[in-house]
Amino acid sequence: MFKTLLYVNMGANFDWYYWLSQLFLYSFVLVGVLGWSSGKYSKLLLGFFAVFIFGFQLFHSLSTGNGERNHRMKIGLYLDKLEPDKNQWIMLEPAGYIPYYSKLKVSDDIGLVDKRVTNEILKNKNHWYPRFLQTYKPKYVLTLFPIPKTNKAYLDFREDQKDWFQKNYSLHKVFYAKEAVNSTQNIWLKKLYNLKPSARDYYLYIKR
């Protein structure tokens, strides 16, 4: 419960942080449908419910799979080729496909895989992100927002921290989400990816 409240307070409102609620979501919906439906229309309603859930899950899976396979995995493979020293650290938000395929040591913005991040947040959540970079100096920083021009709360840099970051890190590459959307020639999949784009732009910074 404490970690859930911490994530919400940081603005991490992603459904995969609350898997327990998702696990029981369909169970509650199914109970509601069974309780509401009766008589000759019960089978029809249950059939409609099953088709709807299957379609929704298929839609979600295809979109999410595209974002992971055609975007985040490629970023990880790019980093794998870029950095031969696998003892180097990268600071990033999604502790999943990207660090796995890059084979680099990872600190994540939420603190799921590096307790140093969580400890830094608990000390003082104000300006914790630039403070972490100044303390541990990871070679790579991968963000969903350009630094320091961002309105993201936990990426809030003081003026002196902005100057420090610009002196010590440089923008190496931007991985655009539209590249993942355009990765398929299938017109229907392309429409689906545009309707629910799972991929997002990533900004890769390297320590000077």
Interior CA angle at 105 toward 101 and 111, to 5°? 105
Q: What is the pLDDT of residue 95?
A: 78
**Dihedral over alpha carbons 135, 141, 143, 149 (to 10 degrees):** 70
What pLDDT digit, counting tens, does each position of 7-20 carry?
A: 556 555 455 544 44
C-alpha pair distances (Å), 193 with each of 66, 81, 130, 189, 203:
8, 27, 33, 6, 21
* Segments in the chain below pLDDT 50: 1, 13, 17-21, 23
Report if pTM > 0.85: no
pLDDT at residue number 137? 96
Q: Report the candidate in 122, 140, 133, 123 with the shortest Cα–Cα distance to residue 156.
A: 133
Kindly compute the dihedral angle of the four CA atoms of residues 182, 108, 138, 10, in this order, to the nearest 10 degrees: 100
Question: What is the pLDDT at residue 83?
Answer: 96
Beta strands 169-175 and 202-207, pairing class: antiparallel
Q: Which two tokens stand for residue 29?
A: 């919906």
Check residue 9 and give its pLDDT: 61
**Predicted local distance difference test score (pLDDT) of residue 171:** 96
